[in-house]
Amino acid sequence: MKKILRQVGNGILTMLVIFLVLLAYGSVNNRWYKVVAVEGNSMSPTFRFGDVIVLTPPTQHIPKGTIITMKVDDELVTHRLVADYSGGWPETKGDANNVADDFSGSDLKIVGIERFSIPWLGYPSMYFRYLLSKF
């Protein structure tokens, strides 16, 4: 019985290490995916402050209803498309907002498409960034 428990524990530990490595890899620039912590409530209840979202690179055509993350004037914004996107200026709106976004005149680039989220996992990375900013 002890041997089985040790093997299960080792398996769980191995999966945790792999998960943390994949999470860390998504935090640095790579071409496959990006991991971003949610730091606002404009997409509530879909995402809440402290959730982590995993993004993949954008495609040529993005259908209405897709959640995208954009870099707007050096700040990341994650909102839902309210119209199909095939280039040009995306029409977006936060789920908790009453009006569509107006980013006219802003420097805007679509960073990625949301594929899935993990609740609360963003808190450790936000706290770590806060600690680093104190030095």
Is 49 in the same domain as 6? no
Residues 10 and 49 in one domain: no
- Tell me: do 1 and 24 sit in the same domain: yes
Q: What is the pLDDT of residues 8-19, one digit of tens each?
A: 888 888 888 888
Q: Which domain holds residue 12?
A: 1-30
CATH of the domain at 113: 2.10.109.10
Rg (CA), the chain: 18
DSSP structure class, residue 85: B
pTM metric for this prediction: 0.81
Clarify whether residues 25 and 48 are in a common domain: no
Angle (CA) 22 95 49, round 5°: 45
Per 3-state DSSP, what percentage of the chain is helix, strand, and coil (rounded to 5)? 30, 25, 45
**Signed CA dihedral, 94, 98, 100, 104: sign only:** negative
96 versus 1: the higher-pLDDT residue is 96
Number of domains the chain contains: 2
Same domain, yes or no: 81 and 115:
yes
